A and B are shown apart, each in its own frame.
Chain A
Amino acid sequence: MGNPMKNSCYMGIDVGSISTNCVVITPEGGVLSEIYRRGDGHPIESVQKCLSQLTAQLSDEYCVKGVCTTGSGRVLAGAVVGTDVIKNEISAHARATIHLYPDVRTIFEIGGQDSKVTIVRDGVVVDFSMNLLCAAGTGSFLDSQARRLNITIEELSTRAMTSEDPTDIAGRCTVFAESDMIHKQQGGHEQKDIMMGLCHALVRNYLSNVCNGKEIKPPIVLQGGVSANKGICRAFKEALQCDIVVPPYNMVMGAYGAALIASKSGIEKTKYRGKEASTHIIITKGFECGDCPNCCEIIEVLDADEVIGRTGGRCGKWEGRTEPREALKGTGPIGTVFGTSAGGLTEYDTCRLLDNVPDLIQIGVSKKRRS
């Protein structure tokens, strides 16, 4: 590592809800290697497998000069890999798309659990929106429907494309969509028509919920895991009456964007842990902070006995810190609790030590009951 003779490269890791993606690029933005890996509920293992696959693919002449993690598991992955930058996935996706298509005006991104729309004007993100309280119309739903019909998601995509007369499916809610599909299937509708109807329902739901009130203008780029589904692309084209661009790295755009961000952030010395990150056994251990009644569950990421990162907690006291637990306990914005109280129901404690500053002041609340 760190050999000046080697060519430099940058790595982006996107830990999403159902997939873990990894992209390595040259400083100019050319993709050296890309990995899309469906996660199996073990984000740490997935990241490690991704990394070992990468090291196998990447020739020895490259050396990683910077790492950026993104996606919902960005903090955890960052601790495992040793990241330089942690970025949200909305910005990462937009960065990648604007890099590939400078004149893009709308970005649709549909992933496993999230669907987002990003509005870009003159190469700058001006607005975005993300599904709020409902996951209808995301990849997970298509997945579960494919599983129910005992076909792969790729098959679902190709079958939907052959449909000429799509069935009308209620797409307001995934549960009702499923019962409607079963109803249609028992009524004798062809499977390919139901599949295409499902794609239409999903797109309709996406356009009315996520894109509600947004100015959708072409050129439109569609990315995220669901963009691999040709039926969805077709449904979008029919609904919006314009062309939809699916970029070449559509499945790993988040990771690509993260890599671009890493290459542009002027990292002098990377914190990347190199081979260690993929070969060592990394475990996590939870404990309750207990410094205040919030009782946050803190997760420690451990490489053997060494703490390489922490997640969880609301006050920012633990996040990303690697100092010993005792050194952090009772410090930071939150310390022990309990404000004024004198005499009372059972046993009261008065906070006198002002260095242990509570985040949550309780008045008249018994301490005994809490601990």
Chain B
Amino acid sequence: MTYMAIPNIGNYTIALATAVESLGIKAWASTATTPEALKLGIEAAPESVCLPLKAHLGHFIEADKAGVEYAFMINSVGTCRLRYYRHMIDQILKDLGLKIKIFGLGFDGFKPPIVRHFNPGPITFIKPLFHSVLKIKVIDELEVAAWRTRPIEITPGETTRIMNKLLVELSESKTMAQTRSLRKKVAGSFADIPVDKEKQPLKVGLVGEISFLRDKCLNKNIEYILGSQGIELKNFFLLGEELENITRIIFLNQSRRKSLSRIADRYLQNSVGGHALDSVANSIHCADEGYDGMIHLCPSGCMPEVSVRPILKRVSKDMDIPILEMSYDEHTCAVGISTRLEAFADVLMERRKNGSVAFRREKARRG
């Protein structure tokens, strides 16, 4: 059996693994970077590159050590350095003398090189692709349900347990029918978790670099920390939404980027690359929606996110919404992160007690 290592994008890796089956091969992946892989990546990568690159590199080195022959790396076409990351990783792996071959997502002609190389039959190709889109949708639903339930659950850790259980089932689901029946189960499973309905959790939006938003090894499990402190989250990276956006671009020539840049127009007119525009637009959007605060995750040295930090400071001041800057790399210790998050939660709680603008707005909206 041929194996292909795919990058970690959190729980969505499960869906990506299904997509890989469309090439008639098996995926080699994990839903979060393992500490071991991170160590390998840090050793091999230049010191100044951002943490997501080190994580991906480490993951591929680990894969190579396990005997995996192929790897797949996303390369965006934005202005972020991610554009060159496939080539960089490729070069570093070659310098290390590793055999693993990396594919990108580029098109040259009708078929991407990766499809041409494996040359799967049309039926083997199409079916897993649809299946993986379905899985992505299920994972989206799981994530959204978990953000809602976790802050108000009565037994700590119950939501995470249910969610992980469903994710395991999802990763084992082989057919579309199985996945569909699993999808029907999602709402019910989360509704069964005993919750404190009276509680009005703080609402916080999570914006920033996508690997940090998704990989719980890199962000030190920030979703769990925040949820267990009674904070309702919205993580602004949902792969389902992102896919929808891409489909719209292809078929309707409508990019979400346009509506985002309309929102962010007052602050940011140029393209910065990465998800910087999303960070700014979503922060403004959340302030209008009556969120209590925002958390901006930014790997140290990430060009797009670092460039919007001063803008976010301005947004925070103009729109009266606290924005916590979290910039970290592999040296950051977990205690420092939980200290900041706890203190931030305290600040938001105090603001709400004193009738902050956001809370009043939210209350008016709810009626």
Contacts and interface: CB of A to CB of B under 8 A. Distances in A.
A296 to B, nearest CB: 9
- Sorted nearest first, the 3 A-B pairs with minimum C-beta distance are A90-B343, A333-B160, A339-B171
Interface stretch (B31-39, B93-101, B251-259, B274-282): B31-39
A78 B11 CA distance: 34
A13 to B, nearest CB: 16
B365 interface: no
Contacts of B26: 341, 344, 364
B224 interface: yes
Interface in B31-60: 31-32, 34-36
A364 B26 CA distance: 7
Nearest to A338: B168
B109 interface: no
B157 A333 contact: yes
Interface stretch (B126-134, B283-291, B324-332): B324-332
B3 A345 contact: yes
B219 to A, nearest CB: 11
A361 B339 contact: no
Contact of A361 (B30, B343, B351): B30
Contacts of A362: 29-31
A122 B356 CA distance: 13
Interface of B: 1, 3, 11, 13-14, 17, 26-32, 34-36, 66-68, 156-157, 160-161, 164-165, 167-169, 171-172, 216-217, 220-221, 224, 228, 300, 310, 313, 322, 325, 327-329, 331-332, 334-336, 338-340, 342-344, 346-347, 350-351, 354
Contact of B300 (A87, A128, A133, A359): A133
A51 to B, nearest CB: 22
Interface string A289-311: 00001110000000000000000
A133 B108 CA distance: 42
B343 A124 contact: no
B8 to A, nearest CB: 10
A341 B28 CA distance: 9
A365 B66 contact: yes
B287 to A, nearest CB: 15
Given A88-B342, A213-B313, A363 B28 contact: yes
A362 B335 CA distance: 27
Contact of A124 (B31, B334, B354): B354
Contacts of A72: 335-336, 339
Contacts of B325: 129, 132
Interface of A: 72, 87-91, 114, 122, 124-130, 132-133, 213, 293-295, 314-317, 332-334, 339-341, 343-345, 350-351, 354, 357-366, 369
A294 B33 CA distance: 9
A351 B334 CA distance: 30
Contacts of A351: 168, 172
Given A132-B325, A363-B171, 11 more contacts: A72-B339, A90-B339, A124-B351, A126-B322, A333-B164, A343-B1, A345-B68, A363-B13, A363-B29, A365-B29, A366-B66
Contacts of A127: 322, 347
Nearest to A91: B346
Nearest to A73: B335
Given A91-B342, A345-B3, A363-B14, A133 B224 contact: no
A361 B168 contact: yes
B157 A361 contact: no
Contacts of B350: 124-125
B34 A360 contact: yes
A126 B36 contact: no
A132 B339 CA distance: 12
A330 to B, nearest CB: 12
